[in-house]
């Protein structure tokens, strides 16, 4: 097992063995003649390499398998996972890392979403190994605790080591150094949100996701598993009862004791929710797009869309000693700060946010108090604008004649039949 750390990120590589049928594993191998005939010579497979599943050294029944995972120590989340099976002349790779695919396919192609979902399901078979990797990250903390007990336990019979012999002194556990917890969060100004939600370069499906995330200010894990059954029929209240754990890939209770709560829905969001609800069952997810990507890719996609919308404020894109660059969770931070800008009482913000401590809420109030200038109107009506570059009409008023759609529109990552009937988020 090997560790490579860069800032708040740690990549962990584990060489293991998988009990499998060697002949069956070898069936997926591409032989040299199967490769691109017109490829450049240095890109073609070496014909002298033997093609076939490779055994883990020292074994005869285990296929050599390499497990790679990348973790964000600041947020304590698992970012991406890879499993590589050694097939001699090549590796069979399974990953949930969307960055290895073209961005165009990620944003539009439903087949790509299916591929990523299938990969995630196949990766779940290796959860024991990924769990071992997560446990390995805690070894410095574990040994520091055990050695402390062995040198300074109140029971002298348990002091197995002499005082001052702690080899873990100065070795900090993951995430303690350069932690993000002391840095200020980044959020969108209301006018920046309006620019993002009206930008035709951002796919319609994702503008809808961002609108719901900004105006409901739920935690990403809470929004990911929010169903239409959690929203009353009048679309005035949301009942938050559960959250998605990105690290464990399971549904769990909300993060805090006060996380189970009822959150009022902004009236300006209701028209969009009405449209999204058409033809949907109570058990359907409100924003199913969030199930396609992991937390890390959501952050990258968010920042790409900000740039596409011309939102280039430095603190949104760069992490410094005082600020953490924005990610998808910034939608929550933005909404809570907007509540403070709208002079909502701090105790009401605390209840809506599901905070356990008023000090957490006051952090958002302080950020709002530090702002000045034309920031826009919090929770303003969703903007209207022209058709998107992809050929799908968006933010178009019902009273405005719809322009003809030219060319072939690419498939949405999660197409909705109702979207073509109601062309505006605010309709």
pLDDT digits (tens, 9 = 90+) for 395-414: 333 333 333 333 333 333 33
Residue the block writes with tokens 């409100």: 286
CA 14 → CA 119, 132, 329, distances in Å?
19, 9, 30
pTM value > 0.85: no
Main-chain phi, psi angles of 68, to 5 degrees: -130, 130
Quick one: 183-420 is in which CATH superfamily? Intergrase catalytic core (1.10.443.10)
pLDDT tens track for 376-389: 999 999 976 433 33
Using CB atoms within 10 A of its CB, is residue 161 exposed (0-12), middle (13-18) or buried (19+)?
Answer: middle
Name the band, by pLDDT with cuts 50, 70 and 90, for residue 417. Answer: very low
Buried/exposed 117-146: b ≥16 CB within 10 Å, e otherwise:
eebbeebeebeebbeebeebbeeebeebee
Residue 84 pLDDT exceeds 60: yes
- Closest-CA residue to 213 (of 246, 232, 234, 238): 238
* Predicted local distance difference test score (pLDDT) of residue 241: 95
Answer whether residue 108 shows pLDDT above 90. no
Alpha carbon 368 to chain centroid, angstroms = 26
Q: For the chain, what is the mean pLDDT?
A: 77
Give one DSSP letter per residue of 211-245, joined into a string. HHHHHH---HHHHHT-BGGGB-TTS-EEEE--EEE
Any idea where the domains of the chain sit in the sequence?
2-136, 183-420
Cα–Cα nearest to 349, from 367, 363, 361: 361
**Selected residue with higher pLDDT from 311 and 51:** 311
Q: According to the model, what pLDDT value does residue 29 have?
A: 62
Q: Is the model's pLDDT at 191 over the cut of 60?
A: yes
For the chain, the maximum distance between any two Cα atoms, rounded to a whole number of angstroms, is 85
- Is the pLDDT confidence value at 416 over 60? no
- In this predicted structure, the answer to whether residue 7 has a pLDDT above a threshold of 70 is no
Between CA 74 and CA 9 the distance in angstroms is: 8
Percent residues over pLDDT 90 in the chain: 37
| Residue that has been written with the tokens 């998107």 in this structure | 388
Whole-angstrom distance, CA of residue 2 vs CA of residue 76: 19
pLDDT digits (tens, 9 = 90+) for 241-299: 999 988 778 899 998 889 999 999 999 999 999 999 999 999 999 999 998 888 878 88
pLDDT at 170 > cutoff 60: no
The number of CA neighbours under 13 Å toward the Cβ of 69 is 26
Helix 295-308 / helix 204-216 crossing angle, nearest 10 deg: 110
pLDDT score recorded for residue 91: 78
Q: Annotate 248-280 with DSSP letters as a single string.
A: TTEEE--SSGGGSEEEEPPGGGHHHHHHHHTT-
* Six-digit token string for 342: 């709208």
């Amino acid at each position: 097992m090997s560790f490579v750390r860069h800032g708040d990120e740690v990549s962990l590589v584990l060489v293991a063995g998988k009990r499998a049928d060697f002949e069956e594993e070898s069936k997926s191998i591409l032989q040299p003649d199967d490769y691109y005939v017109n490829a450049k010579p240095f890109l073609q497979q070496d014909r002298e390499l033997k093609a076939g599943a490779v055994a883990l050294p020292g074994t005869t029944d285990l296929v050599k398998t390499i497990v790679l995972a990348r973790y964000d120590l600041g947020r304590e989340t698992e970012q991406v996972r890879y499993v590589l099976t050694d097939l001699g002349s090549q590796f069979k790779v399974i990953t949930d890392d969307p960055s290895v695919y073209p961005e165009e396919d990620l944003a539009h192609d439903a087949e790509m979403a299916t591929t990523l979902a299938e990969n995630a399901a196949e990766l779940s078979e290796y959860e024991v190994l990924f769990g071992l990797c997560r446990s390995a990250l805690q070894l410095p903390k574990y040994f520091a605790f055990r050695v402390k007990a062995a040198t300074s336990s109140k029971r002298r019979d348990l002091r197995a080591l002499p005082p001052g012999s702690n080899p873990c002194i100065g070795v900090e556990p993951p995430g303690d150094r350069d932690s993000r917890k002391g840095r200020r969060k980044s959020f969108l100004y209301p006018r920046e949100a309006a620019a993002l939600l009206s930008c035709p370069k951002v796919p319609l499906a994702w503008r809808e996701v961002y609108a719901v995330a900004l105006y409901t200010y739920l935690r990403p894990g809470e929004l990911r598993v929010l169903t239409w059954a959690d929203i009353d029929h009048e679309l005035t209240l949301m009942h938050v009862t559960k959250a998605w754990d990105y690290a464990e890939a399971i549904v769990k209770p909300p993060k805090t004791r006060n996380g189970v709560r009822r959150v009022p829905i902004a009236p300006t969001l209701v028209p969009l929710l009405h449209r999204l609800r058409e033809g949907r069952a109570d058990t359907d997810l409100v924003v199913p797009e969030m199930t396609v990507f992991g937390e890390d890719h959501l952050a990258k996609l968010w920042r790409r869309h900000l740039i596409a919308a011309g939102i280039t404020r430095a603190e949104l894109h760069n992490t410094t000693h005082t600020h953490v660059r924005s990610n998808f969770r910034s939608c929550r931070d933005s909404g809570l700060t907007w509540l403070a800008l709208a002079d909502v009482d701090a105790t009401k913000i605390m209840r809506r946010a599901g905070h356990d401590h008023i000090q957490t809420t006051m952090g958002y109030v302080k950020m709002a108090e530090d702002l000045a200038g034309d920031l826009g109107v919090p929770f303003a009506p969703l903007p209207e604008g022209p058709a998107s570059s992809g050929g799908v009409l968006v933010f178009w008023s019902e009273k405005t004649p719809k322009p003809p759609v030219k060319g072939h529109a690419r498939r949405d990552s999660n197409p909705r039949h109702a979207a073509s009937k109601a062309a505006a988020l605010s309709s």
